[in-house]
Structure 1
Amino acid sequence: MNDSAPPVELLVITGMSGAGRRTAGHALEDLGWFVVDNLPPSMLPELLQISRRRQFTRVAVLLDVRSRSDFQQIPAAFSALGDVGVVPQILFLDASDEAIVRRQESVRRPLPLQGSGRLLDGIRKERKMLAGLRASADLVIDTSSINVHELAARVAKAYASASETDLQVTLMSFGFKNGIPIDADLVFDARFLPNPHWVPALRPQTGLAQPVSAYVLGQPDAEPFLQHALGLIDLMRPGYVREGKRHATVAIGCTGGKHRSTALVEELSRRLAAEGVHTEVVHRDLGME
């Protein structure tokens, strides 16, 4: 085993069928975790070795009760992990019998332990089998009365780093003559500002150049535009995160995407970064003119 490999944070997500394991897994994937679904418990030590070789630092495994024999492998698998110095965290997702019945009936799928019996019989068998694992869990989330967005937010709050709990913003400049970006969440039109294209000394330059930037940002309407755009993004950020959306694309367009939109995107990125917001800048049409 490679001693120089970074340590692996291993999270086991388990719990009652219908309580939201896959929603939790998707939330962790959005946070950059490597997520494995439906792995037999006996393969946990092998997964750890693979993760170290590939330098995955945060790994989550979704375990469910497919059979009693699978469940009985868990103590031995955890013991093998402990022998190499890894103690997995356990996230247990629970829900009331009534909530599970309602969810299972909506998807029309039987529970793993239901067999030919009633749905409630399967729930009770599963709850009894998982009682010990629930008692040893590091975190238990009861999903009976929360929706998928609220569950994702709870998971993010528990397992995201500070920077990951905020919205990640991609700022894109573009030219309307080349079409509006189809993946944009917000689109602003900067064509109301005077166009540097009509200033001979500025025409060959782009919004990345200081003279063009100074010209665009020096227009009387530029500052109110930036303030309103920044205010709208600040307003929407917590709502996006609360609803489970962690990436947003904000596009600013001008005629060709060369001067005004480029300068405004650069300035907006600078101001958001000063607020501690992680931003990525994309100048979609720069160089196409």
Structure 2
Amino acid sequence: MNVVILEDERLTAQRLESLLKKYDPAIKVVVTLPSVEKAVDWFLQQEESEQAVPVDLVFMDIHLQDGLAFRVIEQVRLTKPIIFTTAFDEYLLQAFKVNSIDYLLKPLNYEELAAAIDKFKSLRQQYNPVAAEPAAPPAPAPDLDALLRMLAPPKEATYKERFMVTVGPKIWSVETNEIAYFFLDERIPFLVTKAGTNLPVEYSLDKLTQLLDPKQYFRVNRQCLVSLPAIRSITAYSAGKLKLELEPKPRFEVFVSGDRITDFKEWLGK
């Protein structure tokens, strides 16, 4: 089986080739192409060459160095079967899954790769049940406009920039970037400024998680929503808990709930 890889990450391309060899040492990677321009040039040269290398299957990363790989399909009218490789999640990929053999989510997994190739072989056999060395079925052309619309960068999300707080006759306007954390006290939500001022807010913690930038704020438990700059230290506690030291120092201890520790660690690393 002859395979072409469209991938601009060298290590990912090497891993894919290694996994292919693990699946079947007879698989030959004809060429690895890192960009739309180079891929288009290569496929066009193959069309014009009398010594063109037959290609059975294409592994195609969606984002290449100079744009979306769908442009390759569009410009050379590529009809080879395709297995997409991408970091996008399954929900988004449903739009074009029917137009390809399959897709693989990064980081690449051997079992999923093997299943995708098995699927390709099965489809090829269905199209050519008698031929000794059956040719691969042509891949239907994707709806490029729909794909590009779905894969376009999303509009930048907007989050609440300030909170208006009324305390008696006074009205406060607090910039979000001046808020260290939020907490519940007797079911009443409060914000705490970096200067240590406590003020009641009219939003529940559930609503606040929607209004605040998730890169900057994380709900560590049912009572507390903290900002990244407010965390001064993190200590491993008994029974797998994490204890946070916040600034300003709260009058209560703050722990990360056990069911949120994994998400919390991922948040810290973003």
TM-score by length of structure 2 reads 0.30
- Structure with greater contact order relative to length (CA < 8 Å, sep ≥ 6): 1
Higher helix share: 1
